[in-house]
A and B are shown apart, each in its own frame.
Chain A
């Protein structure tokens, strides 16, 4: 019986379908695996590493890779691999938590703007344009000089700069989704505009937002590295890839691995997130795939 056969088929939501499509994309899977491995190692580094991130060994400074120190040691004799993995904590934390702030600010403002009168909408969007036009790094430096130097303020500073993207995206999506038939159907059952925005329009707009957020993570990681490089990022001795590159830069000819490894780490992590983002974009909107 057709009905019986149909009921055996597993229930798949749109999200499950997207994950199935994502798993077929090799680059995305590779990106996800690398992100996962780096995350796990960053979590477990305090357990398996024999060294602390600030443990100096002045008898073994500036050593190249060896059995005891796979990635060598730095100017103070700290193990570079250990510091890299602790640095990954900083990078991932900044990359991911900054996105929470982006979402918390961006989604409500974007959705509100789309539902507001055209004058209010215009006002908000011009404000967004102003922030958008402002050079990111300059703005972050400004916010950091006002808010102070803790790592939480770093999340906030990057989030305060990056939310405009998501706000624009959500606004566009909500305006587009509003034209769809099910919105009239929802109005016809007596749902209010706010209810429709929260329960129908925003959930339908999340696909592109997830993609944007995945692409924003590497940008935030890069921003953190850049800030740490110029000395206004996380404070030593907390390891950060940006700080490590700056410290290694002084001895680049004597021990080039001190610049090389953190630079490669930044590149690999950023690339992995970008691949993952690409994969997500294709998975969430199969029509875009070529």
Chain B
């Protein structure tokens, strides 16, 4: 694994200073993305996966949020240190983002064409006409029929799936090196989900773009990501090659996530497993392993700060139980 990384996130910590106290949304996470690689960030709602992605682009609302420490090295530059105007030249041009909510992520009073053209005008300094021609080409690439007519349409003329295609067209407009897809299919119909993911996969492969795929759906991870990072309560608890994490999950939380994916081939009588309890309060996180209160195996665990340890080549896990190789499951 000596492939050159395009993004190196090191000990990133993002906190929210709220009325009720300090929310440690992202608590010193490190990960890397290689050139052309797709990684997945998996975890429940509120585990910090979106915040960690927004932190890369420095889009965390400040206040109340603040990136407290860490390094985000993208193409040998620490993005947390560059000026705001340099950061704007990175956003959209080198790192692009696709959001979860296609219904609200487009400006309702501007035409689709204007919004996709914006990216091109901002970064490639294209004129209006040239940007519009390129926009039509892009909309064609993301599978919007009759693009030359639909550029004049407004977002409310589009269905959710079509809007997400528009968002993808905006994101790939400047051929970014890295695409962050934040639950790109969560708001869509199950039938559209696969189409959108295939589209992202094909386009990014064509352009050689690396992808961070944020999702809570483990089902899609295996198909689209080479490596997986499992996040829990602001920490990465397990990461490794997708196949290994799938076949041999080392963290009880990953195990729980995998068990709670519904399967069509099970009999109806089998109860769908779910992880007991609620995600921890990030203002007062439990000491030691944050998953311990919900863990079925954690009764004998010591209260020490969990640490990621390599349990197999390239496969890391922070669970005390899996360190000695003997898994209780």
Contact = CB atoms under 8 A, between A and B. Distances in A.
A64 B226 CA distance: 93
B110 interface: yes
Contacts of A187: 59, 91
Interface residues on A, range: 20 to 34
Nearest to B170: A189
A195 B85 CA distance: 13
Given A181-B105, A185-B105, A203-B109, A7 B99 contact: no
A127 interface: no
A95 B43 CA distance: 59
Contacts of B211: none
Interface string B105-144: 1111111000000110011000000000000000000000
A192 B107 contact: no
B149 interface: yes
A13 B114 CA distance: 13
Scoring A12, A182, A186, A190 by chain B CB atoms within 10 A of each residue's CB, the highest score goes to A190
B145 interface: yes
Scoring B89, B107, B171 by chain A CB atoms within 10 A of each residue's CB, the highest score goes to B107
Nearest to B87: A190
Interface in B281-329: none
B170 A182 contact: no
B104 A11 contact: no
A188 B101 contact: no
Contacts of B152: 11
Given A184-B59, A189-B118, A189-B122, A204 B109 contact: yes
Contacts of A7: 145-146, 149-150
Interface string A1-45: 001000100011110000000000000000000000000000000
A185 B110 contact: no
A152 B247 CA distance: 80
Nearest to A179: B61
B105 A182 contact: yes
Nearest to A183: B107
B132 to A, nearest CB: 15
A191 interface: yes
Contact of A184 (B99, B110, B156, B170): B99
Given A185-B105, A189-B170, A203 B57 contact: no
Given A7-B149, A184-B99, A189 B92 contact: yes
A186 B107 contact: yes
B109 A185 contact: no
B246 interface: no
Nearest to B100: A181
B91 A190 contact: yes
B93 interface: yes
Interface residues of B, number: 37
Given A3-B146, A203-B109, A191 B104 contact: no
Nearest to A193: B84
A181 B164 CA distance: 14
Contacts of B101: 181
A200 interface: yes
A82 B175 CA distance: 67
Nearest to A205: B109
Contacts of B88: 190-192
A190 B59 contact: no
A14 B146 contact: no
B70 to A, nearest CB: 20
B170 to A, nearest CB: 6
A192 to B, nearest CB: 6
Nearest to B95: A188
A287 interface: no
A119 interface: no
A290 interface: no
B275 interface: no
B91 A188 contact: yes
Interface of A: 3, 7, 11-14, 180-182, 184-192, 195, 199-200, 203-204
Interface of B: 57, 59, 85, 88-93, 96-97, 99, 101, 104-111, 118-119, 122-123, 145-146, 149-150, 152-154, 156-157, 167, 170-171
Q: Which 8 A-B pairs have the closest CB atoms?
A: A189-B92, A190-B92, A190-B91, A181-B104, A188-B97, A185-B105, A190-B88, A182-B107
29 contacts: A3-B146, A7-B146, A11-B154, A13-B111, A14-B108, A14-B154, A14-B156, A180-B104, A181-B104, A182-B105, A185-B99, A185-B167, A187-B91, A188-B97, A188-B99, A189-B91, A189-B119, A189-B122, A190-B89, A190-B90, A190-B91, A190-B92, A190-B93, A191-B92, A195-B122, A199-B110, A200-B110, A203-B107, A203-B109
Given A186-B118, A189-B92, 6 more contacts: A7-B145, A12-B154, A14-B154, A180-B104, A182-B107, A192-B88
